[in-house]
């Protein structure tokens, strides 16, 4: 057996579960029962194999292809550079890179499920967290194209009870320029948003959202709408409810039928009603913080802000669908990635006048990024981690910088 090259950070033994006492074994994303969690798991060097081969439960492996933009020698160096980069970052999770919608690189590091010895791979399902927001924004654009709403609409059209709604447009909400306080600032203790005699873990999604809305609708705005940017999940919760109001469908059903189904994203869905049969190919949480609330145990708490699960293969289909206008017009997508000076479009961060768009998803221990270079080589990097790896964003961007260095 080859000698493993690894680095070990400070180890801290903590018991496995979010704030609700015992592990929920019916939840594929729940930690294994009685598992000892360690911060700083052993990371295997990219070119080396772990001693125990993982159990194969995923569909047929996706085969990578050589870059069509590089010579064979350049492509070989690129792969080696990506390997070295991932190792130097101490990454644990799945990395997936495409060019012209062809997978040119993939790397799974450490386990999706330690007990079953299943390694992370391109089919491993992760909580996407705030990557959800771009799907919410896309749904709004689809409904606008159908004449069901306009991004120029005042929020008061949909929430007349909200005291500040007449000052805010849907465009403001989409761009996070509305000034609405972010209820998820308290996500590590989100249960405290609810009245004392209410059990949010037993409520319906709609009932919990009513309490959440009340918590921020009673607060003053942080600034005059349109004046500046401030990241806020609250606005995207409202957008989810608007989608339901104008479409006559649940938010989840609309995203499923209008996006997932049309793009063939068969491994994507919603955590609150997750198909338990997917459990064997789900990335379980490791290295999370002791005492942290599992927001997904509170129905409605993540909703249109962060309730989607997906994998690298499906997210690559999503990127291709956006570029090729498979679910919305080129005009609508251009609006999504337009920037009013704040670096944020509709559900996507924007750089270089729309040349690079991306979004992260961070709800520990799940951390992720999907990054798209627009035009040219159509480069996409997807980084997904279930090990509380907060450098996912930096790694996703670094992969693009390494790739761009060949041109």
Using one digit for the tens of pLDDT, what is the confidence trace for 304-360? 999 999 999 999 999 999 999 999 999 999 999 998 888 999 999 999 888 999 999
Name the one residue in this structure whose structure tokens are 């579960």.
Answer: 17
H helical segments located in 325-366 = 330-336
Q: What separation in angstroms does the CA of 121 have from each of 125, 171, 247, 283, 383?
A: 9, 37, 36, 10, 11
> Above 70 in pLDDT, residue 49?
no
Instruction: Determine contact, residues 353/71, Cβ cutoff 8 Å.
Output: no
Instruction: Determine contact, residues 40/4, Cβ cutoff 8 Å.
Output: no
In angstroms, the first-to-last Cα distance of the chain is 39
Query: How many angstroms separate the CA atoms of 228 and 40, rounded?
Result: 38
Six-digit token string for 162: 């909200």
Window from 125-129, 207-211, 234-238 with minimum mean pLDDT: 207-211
Give how far the C-alpha of residue 382 lies from the chain's centroid of Cα atoms, to the nearest Å: 10
Instruction: Determine contact, residues 405/103, Cβ cutoff 8 Å.
Output: no
Return the closest-CA partner of residue 250 out of 264, 240, 258. 240
Name the one residue in this structure whose structure tokens are 């018991």.
Answer: 15
Give how far the C-alpha of residue 268 lies from the chain's centroid of Cα atoms, to the nearest Å: 11
> Per residue in 210-259, pLDDT tens?
888 988 999 999 999 999 999 999 999 999 999 999 999 999 999 999 99
Query: How many angstroms separate the CA atoms of 68 and 52, rounded?
Result: 35
Instruction: Determine contact, residues 106/117, Cβ cutoff 8 Å.
Output: no
Global pTM value: 0.85
Query: How many angstroms separate the CA atoms of 70 and 342, rounded?
Result: 35
Instruction: Determine contact, residues 386/283, Cβ cutoff 8 Å.
Output: yes
Name the one residue in this structure whose structure tokens are 């206008």.
Answer: 325
| Number of residues in the chain | 407
Residues 6 or more apart from 73 whose CB is under 8 A from it? none
Return the closest-CA partner of residue 361 out of 384, 342, 394. 384
Query: How many angstroms separate the CA atoms of 111 and 318, rounded?
Result: 25
Query: Between 392-404 and 72-89, two packed helices, what is the crossing angle to 10 degrees?
Result: 160
Please give the pLDDT value at position 39: 27
Query: How many angstroms separate the CA atoms of 293 and 19, rounded?
Result: 5
Query: How many angstroms separate the CA atoms of 37 and 303, rounded?
Result: 28
> Above 70 in pLDDT, residue 145?
yes
Backbone torsion region of residue 330, taken as left when φ is above 0, otherwise alpha when ψ lies between -120 and 50, otherwise beta = alpha
Mean pLDDT over 19-42 rounds to 42
> Above 70 in pLDDT, residue 20?
no
* Higher per-residue pLDDT: 388 or 25: 388
Window from 92-96, 152-156, 184-188, 278-282 with minimum mean pLDDT: 184-188
Residues 6 or more apart from 167 whose CB is under 8 A from it? 221, 224, 225
């Amino acid at each position: 057996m080859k000698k493993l090259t690894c680095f070990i950070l400070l180890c801290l033994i903590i018991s496995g579960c979010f704030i609700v006492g015992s592990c929920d074994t019916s939840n594929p994303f729940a930690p294994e029962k009685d598992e000892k969690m360690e911060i700083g798991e052993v990371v295997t060097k990219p070119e080396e194999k772990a001693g125990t081969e993982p159990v194969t439960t995923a569909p047929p492996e996706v085969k990578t292809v050589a870059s069509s933009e590089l010579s064979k020698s350049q492509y070989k160096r690129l792969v080696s550079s990506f390997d070295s980069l991932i190792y130097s970052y101490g990454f644990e999770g799945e990395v997936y890179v495409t060019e012209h919608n062809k997978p040119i690189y993939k790397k799974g590091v450490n386990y999706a499920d330690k007990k079953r010895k299943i390694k992370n791979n391109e089919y491993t399902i992760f909580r996407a967290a705030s990557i959800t927001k771009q799907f919410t924004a896309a749904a709004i654009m689809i409904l606008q194209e159908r004449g069901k709403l306009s991004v120029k609409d005042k929020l008061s059209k949909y929430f007349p009870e909200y005291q500040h709604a007449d000052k805010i447009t849907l465009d403001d909400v989409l761009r996070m320029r509305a000034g609405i306080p972010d209820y998820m600032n308290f996500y590590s203790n989100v249960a405290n948003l609810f009245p004392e005699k209410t059990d949010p873990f037993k409520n319906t999604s709609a009932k919990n959202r009513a309490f959440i809305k009340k918590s921020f609708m009673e607060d003053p705005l942080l600034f005059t709408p349109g004046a500046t940017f401030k990241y806020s999940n609250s606005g995207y919760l409202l957008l989810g409810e608007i989608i339901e109001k104008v479409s006559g469908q649940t938010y989840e059903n609309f995203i499923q039928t209008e996006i997932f189904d049309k793009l063939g994203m068969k491994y994507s869905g919603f955590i609150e009603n997750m198909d338990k049969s997917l459990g064997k190919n789900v990335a379980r949480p490791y290295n999370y913080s002791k005492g942290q609330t599992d927001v997904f145990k509170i129905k409605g708490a993540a909703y249109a802000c962060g309730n989607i699960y997906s994998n690298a293969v499906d997210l690559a289909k999503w990127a291709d669908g956006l570029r090729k206008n498979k679910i919305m017009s080129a005009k609508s997508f251009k609006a999504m990635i337009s920037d009013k000076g704040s670096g944020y479009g509709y559900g996507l961060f924007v750089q270089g006048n729309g040349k690079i768009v991306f979004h992260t998803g961070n709800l520990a221990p799940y951390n992720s990024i999907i990054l798209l270079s627009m035009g040219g080589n159509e480069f996409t990097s997807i980084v997904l981690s279930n090990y509380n790896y907060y450098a996912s964003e930096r790694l996703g961007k670094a992969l693009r910088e390494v790739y761009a260095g060949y041109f």
